[in-house]
Amino acid sequence: MKSLLRRSGVLALSFILSVLLSSCSKPEEQVLTLRMAHTLDQEHVVHKAMVKLAERLDHYSHGTMKIRIYSGGQLGSERELIELLQIGSLALTKVSAAPLEGFAPNMQLFSVPYVFRDEQQLWQVLQGEIGQELLAELSPVRLKGLGYYDAGSRSFYTTNKKISTPADLAGQKFRVPNSQTAVQMVQTLGGAATPVDWGELYTALQQGVVDGAENNPPSFYLSRHYELSKYYVLDEHTAVPDVILMSQHIWNSLTAEQQGWLQQAFADSQVWQREAWQAQTKDALDKVKAAGVEVIYPDKQPFIDAVQPLHQALKDTPVGALMAKIAAMPATVAPVPLAPVTASPATAPAAQEKPHE
pLDDT at site 341: 38
Nearest to 301 by CA among 123, 120, 125, 164: 164
DSSP-derived secondary structure for 166-192: GGGGTT-EEEE-S-HHHHHHHHHTT-E
195 pairs with which residues across the strands?
Answer: 176
pLDDT at site 300: 96
What is the pTM assigned to this prediction?
0.81
Alpha helices in the chain (DSSP H): 2-23, 45-60, 78-86, 119-126, 129-136, 180-188, 201-206, 217-222, 248-253, 256-290, 301-306, 308-313, 318-327
Cα(335)–Cα(120) distance, rounded to whole angstroms?
Answer: 5
In the chain, which residues have pLDDT < 50? 2, 4, 10, 13, 15-26, 28, 333, 336-337, 339-356
**Per-residue pLDDT reduced to its tens digit, 339-356:** 443 333 333 333 333 334
**Per-residue pLDDT reduced to its tens digit, 105-127:** 999 999 999 999 999 999 999 99
